[in-house]
Amino acid sequence: MDGKYSILLVEDEEHIAQGLTFNLEQEGYSVTHAPTGQEALNALETQDFALLILDLMLPDMSGLDICRSARKRDDRLPILILTALGDETHRVAGLKHGADDYLTKPFSLAEFLLRVRRILERSTWYRPLPGTIYRFGPHTVNLQEQKAMTPQGEIELTEMEVRILRIFFSKAGEVLDRGELLESVWNLAPDTETRAPDNFIARLRKYFEADPAHPEFFLTVRGKGYRFENGEN
Ligand code: CA
């Protein structure tokens, strides 16, 4: 993973905050700690974060208000809520206000770090692209309208084709693991035996490669998966 994920941790209990910060930093994340709701809102105003970890019971306001306000600013920011044991109502409200996941205190550190990693992985896979038009080689793809302009003419793309193209475009130059593709595009277990990805790649090559047998954009990485080259890397 390139770059450091920066995480906003909103938690008023000092010893919990210290422990979580220490362990997140050990994992390579950069952490900003806000002990109050007001400080959390200030941080959200002035900085970009990859993840918001939010304790619901804060001294000056409810974590739900922060959840709402964070969602209003950025509807893609992943939010992990921390709730007290038995706090069912708040948890449900949190999910309703746009939280992605929740953990009930006390939780195990291993579980916490795993959830954080999963949320960040998921959000990276669906990292939004600037705009809806993507150009590579002689092609222009309009993801919104599900269309591609190629030298051979216009192509109508299916929902699944757009989904997989989105991932390729957002990860240009990176190897896409076959198992991860199966999980995130098809919701299948990574070790599922299926030709689905291969069939899709074959179709994309037919659309976009001058010579599908010798692709220059949608490449196979032997034993691993695929790599999209936009010709600029
Ligand atoms: Ca608290």
Distance 115 CA to ligand 1 centre (A): 20
Distance 63 CA to ligand 1 centre (A): 9
Given a cut of 70, whether residue 128 has pLDDT beyond it is no
Distance 222 CA to ligand 1 centre (A): 50
pLDDT in the model for residue 159: 82
pLDDT in the model for residue 170: 84
What share of the chain in percent tops pLDDT 90? 48
Distance 45 CA to ligand 1 centre (A): 22
pLDDT in the model for residue 2: 40
pLDDT in the model for residue 219: 96
pLDDT in the model for residue 221: 94
The values of phi and psi at residue 214, to 5°, are: -130, 75
Count of beta carbons in the 10 Å neighbourhood of residue 16:
15
Distance 119 CA to ligand 1 centre (A): 22
* pLDDT tens by residue, 180-226: 888 878 777 788 888 888 889 999 999 999 999 999 999 999 988 99
Domains of the chain and any CATH numbers: 6-123 (3.40.50.2300), 133-228 (1.10.10.10)
pLDDT in the model for residue 1: 39
Instruction: Report the distance separating Cα 37 and Cα 34, nearest Å.
Output: 7
Distance 137 CA to ligand 1 centre (A): 53
| Mean pLDDT of the chain, nearest integer | 87
Beta-sheet pairing, 225-228 with 175-177: antiparallel
pLDDT in the model for residue 26: 93
Instruction: Report the distance separating Cα 55 and Cα 106, nearest Å.
Output: 12
Count of beta carbons in the 10 Å neighbourhood of residue 225:
19
Distance 135 CA to ligand 1 centre (A): 48
Name the more confident of 42 and 87. Answer: 42
Distance of CA 102 to the CA centre of its chain: 17
Count of beta carbons in the 10 Å neighbourhood of residue 196:
15
Instruction: Report the distance separating Cα 139 and Cα 52, nearest Å.
Output: 37
* pLDDT tens by residue, 102-119: 888 889 999 999 999 988
Band (pLDDT 50/70/90 cuts) for residue 160 is confident
pLDDT in the model for residue 52: 96
Distance 91 CA to ligand 1 centre (A): 14
Distance 121 CA to ligand 1 centre (A): 27
| pTM for this entry | 0.57
Beta-sheet pairing, 218-221 with 133-136: unpaired
Distance 74 CA to ligand 1 centre (A): 24
Distance 72 CA to ligand 1 centre (A): 23
Half-sphere exposure of 177 (CA within 13 A, CB side): 9
Distance 35 CA to ligand 1 centre (A): 9
What share of the chain in percent tops pLDDT 70? 94
